[in-house]
């Protein structure tokens, strides 16, 4: 039996898929890098399925050339692709498996905001009949920041499904877009996208370049009636600056599914987003649906199986340059 190490959270999510796979033995292991590396060495494993945590060094030294790190999900900023390539490790993710789930959660937050579902639910539980004036989203403006598959799906849902005015900010492929979305205006700058926006939805990766992309300066571009929605990565938001603007009422509110530290820990002791009435928080569940979890497990497993069969060209390789390294004998 070939051993596949799976980080504990991902093992729990994909267990139904994993247990039905012949000739592979799936072994759960801790998420923390030193413990994960120790589990890999103990099992002599060459195949690892892992989550979105940050891995710096020991993991890459624990695996021999030709091994596979299969990301259970799409974002891969936690994996050092240069180090995996240098070590001869094939690194993959699961593109397209969670786009609909995250986009739908984004829209769910949008509707919860517009119809004030949380304050009215709280009022009903208190036994009070407080009718809050809602907002029809048709005709309102949403700025979608990031034109990857999830951002484009949100833009499509907002335009075709709700008749919203949509500005899609494509910062990485400006002037080179290969897609057209009916009713959606594609712009190049964040400032142009968020101008007059009622909602701003973030869909950019949590790369080093995007650390605190939403700093005080960019957040100050939002209007007093604007709601921020973030279902991408918590690291892109300066949570202290966000708290200050929310507490002052400089922006209307925020609906957040992701945080700089997860489980959530305030960025400063006196800047706890949970204490603010104009904040909606969910525990990073945008991609946590039965269908998406199954697709991620199946796609990660497929990448392992393709490697076992030597079908490297069919893998979702994040570091295709590793193939040349392997050919040269690394």
Between CA 182 and CA 156 the distance in angstroms is 8
Neighbour-count burial of 137, counting CB atoms closer than 10 A to its CB (0-12 exposed, 13-18 middle, 19+ buried): buried
Distance CA 291, CA 199 (A): 28
DSSP three-state, residue 61: helix
Q: What are the residue numbers of the active site?
A: 233, 262, 284
Other C-beta atoms lying within 10 Å of the C-beta of residue 310: 8
Helix (H, G, I), strand (E, B) or coil at 228: strand
The DSSP string of 112-148 is HHHTTHHHHHHHHHTT----------TT-EEEEE--S
Return the structure tokens found at 164. 């919203």
Q: CB burial class (10 A; 0-12, 13-18, 19+) of residue 44?
A: exposed
Token output for 279: 């904040």
Contact indicator for 238, 211 with CB cutoff of 8 Å: no
Q: Among all chains, which residue has been given the structure tokens 């060495």? A: 41
C-alpha–C-alpha distance, residues 193 and 152, integer Å: 14
* SS3 call for 166: strand
**Which H or E element spans position 101?**
helix 99-114
CA 86 to chain centre: 26
Q: Which residues pair with 69 in a beta bridge?
A: 48, 91
Rounded to whole angstroms, how far apart are CA atoms 137 and 162? 7
């Amino acid at each position: 039996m070939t051993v596949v190490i799976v980080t504990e959270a991902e093992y729990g999510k994909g267990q139904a898929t994993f247990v039905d796979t012949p000739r592979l033995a799936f072994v759960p292991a801790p998420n923390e890098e030193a413990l994960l590396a120790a589990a890999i060495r103990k099992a002599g494993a060459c195949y690892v399925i892992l989550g979105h945590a940050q891995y710096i060094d020991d993991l890459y030294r624990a695996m021999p050339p030709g091994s596979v790190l299969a990301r259970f999900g799409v974002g891969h900023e936690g994996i050092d692709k240069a180090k995996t390539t240098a070590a001869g490790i094939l690194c993959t993710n699961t593109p397209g498996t969670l786009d609909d789930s995250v986009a739908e959660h984004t829209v769910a937050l949008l509707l919860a905001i517009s119809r004030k579902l949380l304050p009215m639910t709280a009022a009903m539980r208190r036994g009070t009949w407080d009718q809050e004036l809602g907002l029809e989203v048709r005709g309102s403006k949403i700025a979608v920041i990031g034109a990857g598959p999830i951002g484009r799906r949100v833009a499509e849902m907002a335009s075709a499904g709700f008749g919203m005015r949509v500005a899609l900010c494509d910062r990485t492929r400006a002037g080179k877009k290969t897609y057209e979305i009916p009713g959606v205006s594609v712009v190049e700058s964040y400032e142009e996208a968020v101008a007059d926006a009622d909602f701003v939805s973030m869909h950019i990766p949590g790369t080093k370049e995007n650390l605190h992309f939403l700093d005080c300066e960019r957040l100050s571009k939002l209007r007093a009636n604007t709601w921020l929605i973030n279902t991408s990565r918590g690291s892109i938001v300066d949570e202290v600056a966000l708290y200050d603007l929310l507490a002052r009422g400089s922006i209307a509110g925020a609906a957040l599914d992701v945080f700089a530290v997860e489980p959530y820990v305030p960025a400063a002791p006196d800047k706890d987003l949970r204490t603010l009435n104009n904040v909606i928080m969910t525990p990073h569940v945008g991609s946590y649906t039965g269908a998406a979890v199954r697709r991620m497990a199946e796609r990660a497993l497929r990448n392992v199986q393709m490697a076992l069969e030597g079908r490297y060209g069919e893998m979702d390789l994040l570091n295709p340059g590793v193939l040349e390294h392997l050919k040269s004998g690394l």
